[in-house]
Chains A and B, each alone.
Chain A
Protein backbone atom coordinates (compact mmCIF):
# COMPACT_ATOMS: atom_id res chain seq x y z
CA UNK A 1 0.00 0.00 0.00
CA UNK A 2 2.77 2.37 0.87
CA UNK A 3 4.47 1.77 -2.47
CA UNK A 4 1.19 2.56 -4.21
CA UNK A 5 0.83 5.87 -2.43
CA UNK A 6 4.44 6.89 -2.97
CA UNK A 7 4.08 6.06 -6.65
CA UNK A 8 0.93 8.17 -6.89
CA UNK A 9 2.51 11.13 -5.21
CA UNK A 10 5.77 10.97 -7.13
CA UNK A 11 4.31 10.65 -10.63
CA UNK A 12 4.28 13.90 -12.51
CA UNK A 13 1.07 15.25 -13.85
CA UNK A 14 0.55 14.04 -17.40
CA UNK A 15 -2.64 15.88 -18.23
CA UNK A 16 -2.32 17.90 -21.40
CA UNK A 17 -2.70 21.37 -20.07
CA UNK A 18 -5.13 23.48 -21.96
CA UNK A 19 -2.47 26.09 -22.63
CA UNK A 20 0.22 24.10 -24.38
CA UNK A 21 -1.45 21.28 -26.29
CA UNK A 22 1.51 20.83 -28.60
CA UNK A 23 1.87 24.63 -28.73
CA UNK A 24 -0.80 24.84 -31.42
CA UNK A 25 -2.76 28.05 -31.27
CA UNK A 26 -5.86 26.54 -32.74
CA UNK A 27 -6.00 23.93 -30.05
CA UNK A 28 -5.46 26.55 -27.46
CA UNK A 29 -8.74 28.16 -28.39
CA UNK A 30 -10.38 24.75 -28.56
CA UNK A 31 -9.72 24.11 -24.89
CA UNK A 32 -11.03 27.39 -23.66
CA UNK A 33 -13.93 27.55 -26.09
CA UNK A 34 -15.18 24.11 -25.17
CA UNK A 35 -15.47 25.08 -21.56
CA UNK A 36 -17.25 28.34 -22.32
CA UNK A 37 -19.66 26.77 -24.77
CA UNK A 38 -20.58 23.98 -22.49
CA UNK A 39 -21.08 26.47 -19.78
CA UNK A 40 -23.45 28.44 -21.90
CA UNK A 41 -25.35 25.59 -23.42
CA UNK A 42 -25.47 22.81 -20.97
CA UNK A 43 -24.46 25.07 -18.14
CA UNK A 44 -21.13 23.46 -17.52
CA UNK A 45 -22.08 19.81 -17.74
CA UNK A 46 -22.53 17.54 -20.71
CA UNK A 47 -23.43 13.88 -20.38
CA UNK A 48 -22.45 11.69 -23.31
CA UNK A 49 -23.81 8.24 -24.10
CA UNK A 50 -21.79 6.24 -26.54
CA UNK A 51 -23.61 3.89 -28.92
CA UNK A 52 -21.72 1.26 -30.85
CA UNK A 53 -23.71 0.12 -33.88
CA UNK A 54 -21.33 -2.47 -35.19
CA UNK A 55 -18.06 -0.56 -35.40
CA UNK A 56 -14.49 -1.84 -35.46
CA UNK A 57 -14.00 -0.51 -31.92
CA UNK A 58 -11.28 1.85 -33.10
CA UNK A 59 -13.50 4.86 -32.41
CA UNK A 60 -14.44 3.44 -29.02
CA UNK A 61 -10.80 3.24 -28.05
CA UNK A 62 -10.35 6.87 -29.00
CA UNK A 63 -13.45 7.89 -27.08
CA UNK A 64 -12.26 5.95 -24.05
CA UNK A 65 -8.92 7.74 -24.30
CA UNK A 66 -10.73 11.02 -23.82
CA UNK A 67 -11.20 10.30 -20.14
CA UNK A 68 -7.67 9.13 -19.36
CA UNK A 69 -5.05 11.09 -17.46
CA UNK A 70 -3.71 12.60 -20.66
CA UNK A 71 -6.69 14.32 -22.27
CA UNK A 72 -8.97 14.33 -19.21
CA UNK A 73 -12.23 15.52 -20.69
CA UNK A 74 -13.82 15.48 -17.24
CA UNK A 75 -12.16 18.76 -16.32
CA UNK A 76 -14.41 20.45 -18.87
CA UNK A 77 -17.52 19.11 -17.20
CA UNK A 78 -18.09 16.40 -19.80
CA UNK A 79 -18.73 12.84 -18.63
CA UNK A 80 -19.80 9.52 -20.04
CA UNK A 81 -22.93 8.04 -18.51
CA UNK A 82 -24.37 4.56 -18.23
CA UNK A 83 -27.84 5.06 -19.61
CA UNK A 84 -29.31 7.12 -22.44
CA UNK A 85 -31.87 8.45 -19.99
CA UNK A 86 -29.10 10.31 -18.24
CA UNK A 87 -27.49 11.56 -21.47
CA UNK A 88 -27.53 14.88 -23.35
CA UNK A 89 -25.49 13.84 -26.33
CA UNK A 90 -25.39 10.58 -28.23
CA UNK A 91 -22.08 9.74 -29.86
CA UNK A 92 -22.77 7.04 -32.41
CA UNK A 93 -19.98 4.98 -33.92
CA UNK A 94 -20.13 2.23 -36.46
CA UNK A 95 -21.97 1.91 -39.77
CA UNK A 96 -25.32 0.78 -38.27
CA UNK A 97 -25.55 -2.92 -39.01
CA UNK A 98 -29.05 -4.26 -39.63
CA UNK A 99 -29.19 -5.89 -36.23
CA UNK A 100 -28.43 -2.66 -34.42
CA UNK A 101 -30.96 -0.54 -36.29
CA UNK A 102 -33.77 -1.01 -33.83
CA UNK A 103 -31.48 -0.70 -30.86
CA UNK A 104 -30.25 2.63 -32.16
CA UNK A 105 -33.79 3.92 -32.65
CA UNK A 106 -34.70 2.82 -29.12
CA UNK A 107 -31.66 4.55 -27.72
CA UNK A 108 -32.58 7.73 -29.55
CA UNK A 109 -36.12 7.63 -28.21
CA UNK A 110 -34.91 6.90 -24.70
CA UNK A 111 -32.82 10.04 -24.53
CA UNK A 112 -34.69 13.03 -23.16
CA UNK A 113 -34.78 16.35 -24.99
CA UNK A 114 -32.86 18.55 -25.59
CA UNK A 115 -30.33 16.21 -27.17
CA UNK A 116 -27.56 16.27 -29.76
CA UNK A 117 -26.62 13.33 -31.97
CA UNK A 118 -23.05 13.17 -33.21
CA UNK A 119 -21.79 10.59 -35.70
CA UNK A 120 -18.17 9.82 -34.86
CA UNK A 121 -15.92 8.29 -37.46
CA UNK A 122 -16.21 7.81 -41.22
CA UNK A 123 -18.23 4.60 -40.71
CA UNK A 124 -20.95 6.39 -38.86
CA UNK A 125 -21.11 9.25 -41.36
CA UNK A 126 -21.73 7.29 -44.53
CA UNK A 127 -20.61 3.70 -44.06
CA UNK A 128 -16.88 4.40 -44.46
CA UNK A 129 -14.90 1.45 -45.69
CA UNK A 130 -17.96 -0.81 -45.37
CA UNK A 131 -20.11 1.29 -47.66
CA UNK A 132 -22.62 -0.57 -49.88
CA UNK A 133 -22.24 -3.78 -47.92
CA UNK A 134 -25.39 -5.91 -47.59
CA UNK A 135 -25.08 -6.04 -43.83
CA UNK A 136 -25.14 -2.34 -43.01
CA UNK A 137 -27.39 0.65 -43.50
CA UNK A 138 -24.69 3.10 -44.66
CA UNK A 139 -24.49 5.64 -41.91
CA UNK A 140 -26.38 6.85 -38.89
CA UNK A 141 -28.38 9.53 -40.64
CA UNK A 142 -30.33 6.83 -42.48
CA UNK A 143 -31.81 5.79 -39.13
CA UNK A 144 -31.96 8.76 -36.76
CA UNK A 145 -31.52 12.48 -37.38
CA UNK A 146 -27.84 13.36 -36.98
CA UNK A 147 -26.87 16.82 -35.85
CA UNK A 148 -23.13 16.73 -36.34
CA UNK A 149 -20.39 14.59 -37.80
CA UNK A 150 -16.79 14.04 -36.81
CA UNK A 151 -14.78 12.61 -39.69
CA UNK A 152 -11.77 10.34 -39.31
CA UNK A 153 -11.05 6.62 -39.28
CA UNK A 154 -10.75 6.75 -36.36
CA UNK A 155 -10.56 10.41 -35.30
CA UNK A 156 -7.90 10.97 -32.67
CA UNK A 157 -9.03 12.21 -29.27
CA UNK A 158 -7.57 15.61 -30.06
CA UNK A 159 -9.66 15.76 -33.24
CA UNK A 160 -12.76 14.74 -31.33
CA UNK A 161 -12.17 17.46 -28.77
CA UNK A 162 -11.53 19.91 -31.62
CA UNK A 163 -14.73 19.03 -33.38
CA UNK A 164 -16.79 19.10 -30.22
CA UNK A 165 -15.81 22.75 -30.02
CA UNK A 166 -16.80 23.43 -33.61
CA UNK A 167 -20.11 21.62 -32.99
CA UNK A 168 -20.95 23.71 -29.99
CA UNK A 169 -19.97 26.86 -31.90
CA UNK A 170 -22.41 25.90 -34.62
CA UNK A 171 -25.23 25.48 -32.15
CA UNK A 172 -24.64 28.90 -30.75
CA UNK A 173 -24.72 30.40 -34.21
CA UNK A 174 -27.92 28.54 -35.00
CA UNK A 175 -29.46 29.85 -31.83
CA UNK A 176 -28.45 33.36 -32.78
CA UNK A 177 -29.87 32.98 -36.28
CA UNK A 178 -33.25 32.01 -34.88
Chain B
Protein backbone atom coordinates (compact mmCIF):
# COMPACT_ATOMS: atom_id res chain seq x y z
CA UNK B 1 0.00 0.00 0.00
CA UNK B 2 2.77 2.43 0.74
CA UNK B 3 4.83 1.31 -2.23
CA UNK B 4 3.29 3.76 -4.65
CA UNK B 5 3.58 6.85 -2.43
CA UNK B 6 7.17 5.96 -1.62
CA UNK B 7 8.27 5.37 -5.20
CA UNK B 8 6.30 8.02 -7.02
CA UNK B 9 8.48 11.10 -6.45
CA UNK B 10 11.40 9.11 -7.82
CA UNK B 11 9.73 8.71 -11.19
CA UNK B 12 8.88 12.37 -11.28
CA UNK B 13 12.51 13.15 -10.56
CA UNK B 14 13.66 10.85 -13.36
CA UNK B 15 11.22 12.55 -15.75
CA UNK B 16 12.57 15.98 -14.94
CA UNK B 17 16.15 14.77 -15.17
CA UNK B 18 15.62 13.37 -18.65
CA UNK B 19 13.98 16.59 -19.74
CA UNK B 20 16.96 18.50 -18.36
CA UNK B 21 19.33 16.34 -20.37
CA UNK B 22 17.35 17.11 -23.47
CA UNK B 23 17.73 20.79 -22.69
CA UNK B 24 21.49 20.35 -22.36
CA UNK B 25 21.39 21.06 -18.64
CA UNK B 26 22.31 18.96 -15.65
CA UNK B 27 19.02 19.42 -13.84
CA UNK B 28 18.09 18.60 -10.26
CA UNK B 29 18.91 15.19 -8.86
CA UNK B 30 16.36 12.45 -9.19
CA UNK B 31 15.63 12.64 -5.47
CA UNK B 32 14.78 16.33 -5.66
CA UNK B 33 10.99 15.80 -5.38
CA UNK B 34 11.53 14.07 -2.05
CA UNK B 35 13.38 17.12 -0.77
CA UNK B 36 10.66 19.40 -2.07
CA UNK B 37 8.01 17.40 -0.23
CA UNK B 38 10.07 17.37 2.93
CA UNK B 39 10.51 21.11 2.83
CA UNK B 40 6.84 21.72 2.14
CA UNK B 41 5.81 19.64 5.11
CA UNK B 42 7.97 21.90 7.26
CA UNK B 43 6.43 25.13 6.07
CA UNK B 44 3.47 27.01 7.45
CA UNK B 45 0.33 27.56 5.48
CA UNK B 46 -1.58 30.60 4.35
CA UNK B 47 -5.23 29.91 3.60
CA UNK B 48 -7.55 32.40 2.01
CA UNK B 49 -10.45 33.63 4.10
CA UNK B 50 -12.79 32.87 1.20
CA UNK B 51 -11.93 29.20 1.33
CA UNK B 52 -14.33 26.78 2.97
CA UNK B 53 -13.92 23.31 4.41
CA UNK B 54 -13.78 21.82 0.94
CA UNK B 55 -10.49 23.59 0.28
CA UNK B 56 -9.04 22.24 3.50
CA UNK B 57 -10.43 18.76 3.06
CA UNK B 58 -9.74 18.12 -0.62
CA UNK B 59 -5.98 17.42 -0.43
CA UNK B 60 -6.50 14.68 2.15
CA UNK B 61 -9.21 13.04 0.07
CA UNK B 62 -7.20 13.25 -3.14
CA UNK B 63 -4.12 11.78 -1.50
CA UNK B 64 -6.21 9.04 0.10
CA UNK B 65 -7.71 8.09 -3.23
CA UNK B 66 -4.33 7.87 -4.93
CA UNK B 67 -3.03 5.71 -2.08
CA UNK B 68 -6.01 3.39 -2.29
CA UNK B 69 -5.63 3.18 -6.06
CA UNK B 70 -1.98 2.37 -5.62
CA UNK B 71 -2.95 -0.54 -3.45
CA UNK B 72 -5.62 -1.84 -5.82
CA UNK B 73 -3.65 -2.16 -9.03
CA UNK B 74 -1.15 -4.88 -9.84
CA UNK B 75 2.32 -3.45 -9.37
CA UNK B 76 4.58 -6.40 -9.35
CA UNK B 77 2.53 -9.42 -8.40
CA UNK B 78 -0.85 -10.89 -8.92
CA UNK B 79 -0.86 -12.13 -5.36
CA UNK B 80 -2.01 -9.34 -3.12
CA UNK B 81 -5.12 -8.89 -5.16
CA UNK B 82 -7.65 -6.77 -3.36
CA UNK B 83 -10.35 -8.13 -5.59
CA UNK B 84 -13.06 -5.91 -4.37
CA UNK B 85 -11.46 -2.65 -5.41
CA UNK B 86 -9.75 -3.80 -8.57
CA UNK B 87 -12.65 -3.53 -10.94
CA UNK B 88 -11.62 -1.11 -13.65
CA UNK B 89 -14.84 0.88 -13.55
CA UNK B 90 -14.29 1.43 -9.86
CA UNK B 91 -10.79 2.71 -10.64
CA UNK B 92 -12.11 5.08 -13.30
CA UNK B 93 -14.75 6.47 -10.99
CA UNK B 94 -12.36 6.84 -8.07
CA UNK B 95 -10.11 8.91 -10.32
CA UNK B 96 -13.20 10.93 -11.27
CA UNK B 97 -13.90 11.47 -7.55
CA UNK B 98 -10.45 12.92 -6.98
CA UNK B 99 -10.79 15.18 -10.04
CA UNK B 100 -14.21 16.32 -8.79
CA UNK B 101 -12.82 17.46 -5.48
CA UNK B 102 -9.73 19.03 -6.99
CA UNK B 103 -11.93 21.06 -9.32
CA UNK B 104 -14.14 22.12 -6.42
CA UNK B 105 -11.07 23.20 -4.46
CA UNK B 106 -9.99 25.27 -7.45
CA UNK B 107 -13.29 27.14 -7.54
CA UNK B 108 -13.42 27.45 -3.77
CA UNK B 109 -10.98 30.27 -3.34
CA UNK B 110 -12.73 32.50 -5.79
CA UNK B 111 -9.70 33.59 -7.70
CA UNK B 112 -9.77 33.91 -11.45
CA UNK B 113 -7.28 31.22 -12.30
CA UNK B 114 -8.74 28.55 -10.08
CA UNK B 115 -12.07 28.70 -11.82
CA UNK B 116 -10.37 28.71 -15.21
CA UNK B 117 -8.33 25.65 -14.30
CA UNK B 118 -11.36 23.84 -12.91
CA UNK B 119 -13.37 24.52 -16.04
CA UNK B 120 -10.67 23.16 -18.30
CA UNK B 121 -9.92 20.22 -16.03
CA UNK B 122 -13.55 19.14 -15.94
CA UNK B 123 -13.88 19.52 -19.71
CA UNK B 124 -10.87 17.31 -20.28
CA UNK B 125 -11.88 14.83 -17.58
CA UNK B 126 -15.34 14.48 -19.09
CA UNK B 127 -13.93 13.72 -22.50
CA UNK B 128 -11.18 11.44 -21.23
CA UNK B 129 -13.52 9.14 -19.37
CA UNK B 130 -14.71 7.61 -22.61
CA UNK B 131 -11.23 6.74 -23.83
CA UNK B 132 -10.21 5.50 -20.39
CA UNK B 133 -13.13 3.11 -20.03
CA UNK B 134 -12.83 1.87 -23.58
CA UNK B 135 -9.11 1.15 -23.50
CA UNK B 136 -9.65 -1.06 -20.49
CA UNK B 137 -12.76 -2.53 -22.01
CA UNK B 138 -10.67 -3.98 -24.81
CA UNK B 139 -8.55 -5.83 -22.28
CA UNK B 140 -11.61 -6.86 -20.29
CA UNK B 141 -13.17 -8.48 -23.34
CA UNK B 142 -9.94 -10.28 -24.13
CA UNK B 143 -9.62 -11.53 -20.56
CA UNK B 144 -13.34 -12.10 -19.89
CA UNK B 145 -13.10 -10.25 -16.62
CA UNK B 146 -12.97 -6.68 -15.43
CA UNK B 147 -10.76 -7.40 -12.47
CA UNK B 148 -7.35 -5.87 -13.12
CA UNK B 149 -5.42 -8.80 -11.72
CA UNK B 150 -7.28 -11.30 -13.87
CA UNK B 151 -6.70 -9.10 -16.88
CA UNK B 152 -2.99 -8.97 -16.16
CA UNK B 153 -2.66 -12.73 -15.90
CA UNK B 154 -4.85 -13.32 -18.94
CA UNK B 155 -3.11 -10.85 -21.25
CA UNK B 156 0.23 -12.47 -20.49
CA UNK B 157 -1.05 -15.74 -21.92
CA UNK B 158 -2.64 -14.38 -25.08
CA UNK B 159 -1.64 -15.77 -28.47
CA UNK B 160 0.28 -13.44 -30.72
CA UNK B 161 -2.39 -12.64 -33.27
CA UNK B 162 -4.70 -11.10 -30.74
CA UNK B 163 -2.17 -8.42 -30.00
CA UNK B 164 -3.41 -5.84 -32.47
CA UNK B 165 -6.32 -4.82 -30.24
CA UNK B 166 -3.96 -4.61 -27.29
CA UNK B 167 -1.59 -2.32 -29.17
CA UNK B 168 -4.44 -0.07 -30.30
CA UNK B 169 -5.80 0.03 -26.77
CA UNK B 170 -2.34 0.87 -25.50
CA UNK B 171 -2.02 3.85 -27.83
CA UNK B 172 -5.40 5.06 -26.68
CA UNK B 173 -4.35 4.52 -23.06
CA UNK B 174 -1.18 6.56 -23.57
CA UNK B 175 -3.27 9.50 -24.76
CA UNK B 176 -5.55 9.14 -21.74
CA UNK B 177 -2.55 8.87 -19.41
CA UNK B 178 -1.03 12.06 -20.77
CA UNK B 179 -4.29 13.87 -20.19
CA UNK B 180 -5.01 12.59 -16.71
CA UNK B 181 -1.48 13.18 -15.43
CA UNK B 182 -1.28 16.66 -16.94
CA UNK B 183 1.63 16.26 -19.32
CA UNK B 184 2.22 17.41 -22.88
CA UNK B 185 0.32 17.91 -25.14
CA UNK B 186 -2.52 18.52 -22.70
CA UNK B 187 -0.86 20.55 -20.02
CA UNK B 188 2.58 21.87 -19.20
CA UNK B 189 3.47 20.90 -15.64
CA UNK B 190 6.26 23.45 -15.45
CA UNK B 191 4.51 26.52 -16.79
CA UNK B 192 4.17 29.87 -15.07
CA UNK B 193 1.60 31.27 -17.43
CA UNK B 194 -1.76 30.87 -15.78
CA UNK B 195 -3.62 31.06 -19.05
CA UNK B 196 -1.94 27.86 -20.18
CA UNK B 197 -2.38 25.96 -16.93
CA UNK B 198 -4.89 23.24 -16.34
CA UNK B 199 -3.78 21.27 -13.29
CA UNK B 200 -1.43 23.86 -11.85
CA UNK B 201 -4.08 26.56 -11.90
CA UNK B 202 -6.24 24.74 -9.41
CA UNK B 203 -3.41 24.42 -6.88
CA UNK B 204 -2.09 27.97 -7.06
CA UNK B 205 -3.66 28.74 -3.69
CA UNK B 206 -2.27 25.79 -1.78
CA UNK B 207 0.77 26.08 0.46
CA UNK B 208 2.60 24.10 3.11
CA UNK B 209 1.48 20.59 3.94
CA UNK B 210 -1.64 20.67 1.75
CA UNK B 211 0.47 21.60 -1.26
CA UNK B 212 2.80 18.75 -0.38
CA UNK B 213 -0.14 16.33 -0.27
CA UNK B 214 -1.46 17.49 -3.62
CA UNK B 215 1.91 17.36 -5.35
CA UNK B 216 2.51 13.94 -3.88
CA UNK B 217 -0.92 12.82 -5.06
CA UNK B 218 -0.11 14.07 -8.57
CA UNK B 219 3.12 12.05 -8.50
CA UNK B 220 1.18 9.04 -7.23
CA UNK B 221 -1.30 9.41 -10.07
CA UNK B 222 1.55 9.47 -12.55
CA UNK B 223 3.01 6.29 -11.14
CA UNK B 224 -0.41 4.63 -11.02
CA UNK B 225 -1.00 5.36 -14.68
CA UNK B 226 2.52 4.22 -15.53
CA UNK B 227 1.97 0.93 -13.76
CA UNK B 228 -1.45 0.50 -15.33
CA UNK B 229 0.12 1.00 -18.74
CA UNK B 230 3.07 -1.24 -17.99
CA UNK B 231 1.27 -4.07 -16.21
CA UNK B 232 -2.02 -4.20 -18.06
CA UNK B 233 -0.79 -4.09 -21.58
CA UNK B 234 2.59 -5.75 -21.16
CA UNK B 235 2.10 -7.86 -18.05
CA UNK B 236 5.13 -10.10 -18.35
CA UNK B 237 7.15 -10.03 -15.19
CA UNK B 238 4.36 -10.18 -12.67
CA UNK B 239 4.94 -12.95 -10.21
CA UNK B 240 2.31 -15.29 -9.00
CA UNK B 241 4.46 -16.81 -6.28
CA UNK B 242 5.37 -15.54 -2.87
CA UNK B 243 9.03 -16.39 -3.19
CA UNK B 244 11.19 -13.46 -2.05
CA UNK B 245 13.57 -13.58 -5.02
CA UNK B 246 10.68 -13.70 -7.44
CA UNK B 247 9.20 -10.67 -5.73
CA UNK B 248 12.45 -8.74 -6.06
CA UNK B 249 12.77 -9.74 -9.69
CA UNK B 250 9.21 -8.65 -10.36
CA UNK B 251 9.81 -5.37 -8.59
CA UNK B 252 12.88 -4.82 -10.74
CA UNK B 253 10.98 -5.61 -13.93
CA UNK B 254 8.23 -3.23 -12.87
CA UNK B 255 10.69 -0.42 -12.22
CA UNK B 256 12.34 -1.01 -15.59
CA UNK B 257 8.99 -0.97 -17.43
CA UNK B 258 7.89 2.18 -15.65
CA UNK B 259 11.21 3.83 -16.43
CA UNK B 260 10.81 3.01 -20.11
CA UNK B 261 7.39 4.67 -20.11
CA UNK B 262 8.78 7.64 -18.18
CA UNK B 263 11.51 8.05 -20.78
CA UNK B 264 8.88 7.97 -23.48
CA UNK B 265 6.89 10.73 -21.75
CA UNK B 266 10.02 12.81 -21.20
CA UNK B 267 11.07 12.50 -24.84
CA UNK B 268 7.55 13.42 -25.90
CA UNK B 269 7.57 16.45 -23.63
CA UNK B 270 10.85 17.60 -25.07
CA UNK B 271 9.84 17.10 -28.69
CA UNK B 272 6.41 18.60 -29.11
CA UNK B 273 4.68 21.69 -27.89
CA UNK B 274 1.53 21.88 -25.84
CA UNK B 275 -1.54 21.84 -28.05
CA UNK B 276 -4.04 24.64 -28.22
CA UNK B 277 -6.92 23.82 -25.90
CA UNK B 278 -9.55 23.30 -28.57
CA UNK B 279 -7.35 20.82 -30.43
CA UNK B 280 -7.34 18.53 -27.40
CA UNK B 281 -10.88 17.12 -27.80
CA UNK B 282 -9.87 15.87 -31.24
CA UNK B 283 -7.04 13.96 -29.64
CA UNK B 284 -9.32 12.52 -26.98
CA UNK B 285 -11.92 11.46 -29.51
CA UNK B 286 -9.11 9.77 -31.45
CA UNK B 287 -8.30 7.77 -28.34
CA UNK B 288 -11.93 6.73 -28.10
CA UNK B 289 -12.11 5.72 -31.74
CA UNK B 290 -8.90 3.70 -31.56
CA UNK B 291 -10.32 1.72 -28.64
CA UNK B 292 -13.61 1.22 -30.44
CA UNK B 293 -11.75 -0.14 -33.45
CA UNK B 294 -9.88 -2.45 -31.12
CA UNK B 295 -13.16 -3.74 -29.69
CA UNK B 296 -14.54 -4.38 -33.14
CA UNK B 297 -11.34 -6.21 -33.98
CA UNK B 298 -11.72 -8.60 -31.08
CA UNK B 299 -14.94 -10.12 -32.32
A110-B35 contact in complex given A74-B25, A75-B27, C-beta closer than 8 Å? no
Could you tell me the distance in whole angstroms from the C-beta of B139 to the nearest C-beta in chain A? Answer: 31
Complex: A12 Cα to B13 Cα, angstroms: 23
Q: Does B81 contact A (CB under 8 A)?
A: no
Tell whether, in the assembled complex, residue B207 and residue A85 are in contact, meaning their CB atoms are under 8 Å apart.
yes
Contacts of B206 in A (CB 8 A): 85-86
B residues 24-38 touching A (CB-CB < 8 Å): 24-29, 32, 35-36, 38
Q: Interface digits, B10-33 against A, CB 8 Å rule (1 contact, 0 not)?
A: 000000000010111111110010
Determine the residue in chain B with the shortest Cβ distance to A113.
B44
Instruction: For the complex formed, measure the closest distance between the CB of B188 and the CB atoms of chain A, giving whole angstroms.
Output: 11
Which one of B20, B25, B32, B271 contacts A45 once the chains associate, using CB atoms below 8 Å? B32
CB-nearest residue of chain B relative to A110?
B46
Q: Is the interface of A mostly helix, strand, loop or mixed?
A: loop
Interface residues on A, range: 35 or more
Identify which of B28, B42, B191, B205 gathers the most chain A CB atoms within 10 Å of its CB: B28
CB distance from B119 to the nearest CB of A (A): 18
Does A69 belong to the interface (CB within 8 Å)?
yes
Q: What's the Cα separation between A160 and B197 when bound, in Å? A: 29
Instruction: For chain B, give the interface size range.
Output: 20 to 34
- Check: B95 CB closer than 8 A to any chain A CB: no
Tally the A-B contacts, defined by beta carbons under 8 Å.
Answer: 88
Report if A112 contacts B (CB, 8 A).
yes
Q: Which residues of B contact A13 (CB under 8 A)?
A: 24, 26
Closest A residue to B45 using CB positions:
A112
A122 within 8 A of B: no
Q: How far is A82 from B204 in the complex, measured between Cα atoms in Å?
A: 8
Q: Is B87 an interface residue (CB 8 A)?
A: no
Q: How far is the CB of B102 from chain A (nearest CB, A)?
A: 16
Contacts of A109 in B (CB 8 A): 46
Interface membership of chain B positions 163-203, coded 1 if the CB is closer than 8 angstroms to chain A and 0 otherwise:
00000000000000000000000000001101001001000
Q: How far is the CB of A113 from chain B (nearest CB, A)?
A: 5
Q: Is there an interface contact between B28 and A43, defined as CB atoms closer than 8 Å?
A: no
Inter-subunit contact A43/B39 (CB<8 Å): yes
A156 on interface, CB distance cutoff 8 Å: no
| A177 interface residue (CB < 8 Å to B) | no
Would A77 and B44 count as touching, CB distance under 8 A? no
Interface residue? B56 (CB, 8 A): no
Query: Which residue from A42, A47, A72, A83 sits with its C-beta under 8 Å from B25?
Result: A72
Q: Type the 1/0 row for A1-37, where 1 means its CB is closer than 8 Å to any CB of B.
A: 1001100100101110000000000000000000000
The answer for the CA separation of A111 and B206 in the assembled complex, in Å, is 11
Q: In the complex, which residues of chain A have a beta carbon less than 8 angstroms from the beta carbon of B274?
A: none
Tell me if B237 counts as interface (CB < 8 A to partner A): no
Q: A110-B46, A112-B208 are in contact. Are A82 and B25 (CB under 8 A)?
A: no
Chain A positions 97-123 with a Cβ under 8 Å from a chain B Cβ: 109-114
Does any Cβ of A come within 8 Å of B144's Cβ? Answer: no
The reply to whether the CB of A88 lies closer than 8 angstroms to some CB of chain B is: yes
A41 to chain B, nearest CB (A): 9
B127 at the binding interface (Cβ < 8 Å): no
Contact at B204–A77, with CB atoms within 8 Å?
Answer: no
Complex Cα spacing A9 to B28, Å: 20
Query: In chain A, residues 62-110, which have Cβ atoms closer than 8 Å to a Cβ of chain B?
Result: 68-69, 72, 74-77, 79-83, 85-86, 88, 109-110
Q: Determine whether the beta carbon of B211 is less than 8 Å from that of A86.
A: yes
Q: Residues of B contacting A77 with CB < 8 Å?
A: 28-29, 32, 35
A145 CB within 8 Å of chain B = no
- A85 interface neighbour in B38, B191, B211, Cβ under 8 Å: B211
Are B25 and A15 in contact, CB atoms less than 8 angstroms apart?
Answer: yes
Q: Can you pick out 26 interface pairs between chain A and chain B where the beta carbons lie within 8 Å of each other?
A: A1-B271, A15-B26, A39-B35, A42-B39, A43-B39, A44-B32, A44-B38, A45-B32, A45-B35, A69-B25, A72-B20, A74-B28, A75-B26, A75-B27, A75-B29, A81-B192, A82-B200, A85-B46, A85-B206, A86-B211, A109-B46, A110-B46, A111-B46, A113-B43, A113-B44, A114-B44
The 10 closest A-B pairs by CB, nearest first: A44-B35, A85-B207, A82-B192, A75-B26, A69-B24, A45-B35, A83-B204, A45-B36, A113-B44, A72-B25
Q: Given known contacts A69-B25, A109-B46, what 20 new A-B pairs fall within 8 Å (CB)?
A: A4-B271, A15-B25, A43-B35, A43-B39, A43-B42, A44-B39, A72-B20, A72-B26, A75-B28, A75-B29, A80-B192, A82-B192, A85-B211, A86-B206, A110-B46, A111-B46, A112-B45, A112-B46, A112-B208, A113-B44
